[in-house]
Structure 1
Amino acid sequence: MVHLCFNRTVRLLTLQNNNQEWLSANIPHFITKVEWPPSSPDLNPLDFSLWSILESRTCSKSHTNIESLKTSLRREWENIPQEMVRTAVAVVNQRLKSVIKQKGGYIE
């Protein structure tokens, strides 16, 4: 099974037509740029999973200045279990299929 890391650099590379053709031919279940919904929070693991965890942990106490907030954010980010991040990333493909099935509509 092929695992790809999706980031802005990869996304920019996949937007080029020759790369789209190669990826479509070589990656099972590759989703083309035409099929990929733009700016969907349903497809961003930070949006659909991790931000709410980080927010609840960080805001469990009040902060009197920006440095306190930044310190708390960094600490709580480091405390999010790696397995939780992996799980959020692992469901992106299924969520993408659901968004496509809903023709871009809300899926949760």
Structure 2
Amino acid sequence: MQDGAPSHKAEETQNLIRDNVPEFIEVDISPQRDNGESPDLNVMDYSIWSILEAEACSKPHQSIDALKKSLTKAWNNISQNVIDRAVDDFPKRLKKCIEADGGHFKNN
């Protein structure tokens, strides 16, 4: 699943995925397209990454290995209940996204 991140919309990324994922759904990356950011529907994006960032990135790391270790530790400390709640929230988020015609929506 891709969101509106610049790295996801990069031509090289789109080509790589197109060549390797049989059911790839292309994104219009032309400069003329008004690519208003779409809401995140990926559980990792709307829930888990913020937890990992808060835990693992609260201090600078001296190396990539140190960052990886910090992320792994933070991941292992996330309770199953937190993951379950994030996954259970998906149908509600999807419904709100459909109601907003794919645009932004508030998640209350």
Q: Residue 99 of structure 1 contacts residue 105 of structure 1 at CA under 8 Å; is this kept in 2?
A: yes
Residue 46 of structure 1 aligns to a residue whose secondary structure is helix
Deviation, structure 1 residue 41? 4.8
Higher helix share: 1
Cα deviation, 1:19-57, whole Å, max 9, x if unaligned, reads: xxxxxxxxxxxxxxxxxxxxx653111111110110111
CA contact under 8 A between 2:97 and 2:103: conserved in structure 1?
Answer: yes
Supply the distance in 1 between the matched residues of 2:63 and 2:46 (Cα, whole angstroms).
28
- Deviations along 1:31-86, one digit per CA (max 9) or x if unpaired, are xxxxxxxxx65311111111011011101222101110000000100001110000
> Could you list the runs of 5+ residues in structure 2 that have no partner in the other structure?
1-20, 24-37
Unaligned runs of 5+ in 1: 1-11, 16-39
Q: How many residues align?
A: 71
CA RMSD after TM alignment: 1.7
Q: Percent identity?
A: 46
After TM superposition, the score normalised by the length of structure 2 is: 0.60
**Structure 1 residue ranges (4+ consecutive) displaced by more than 2 angstroms after TM superposition:** none
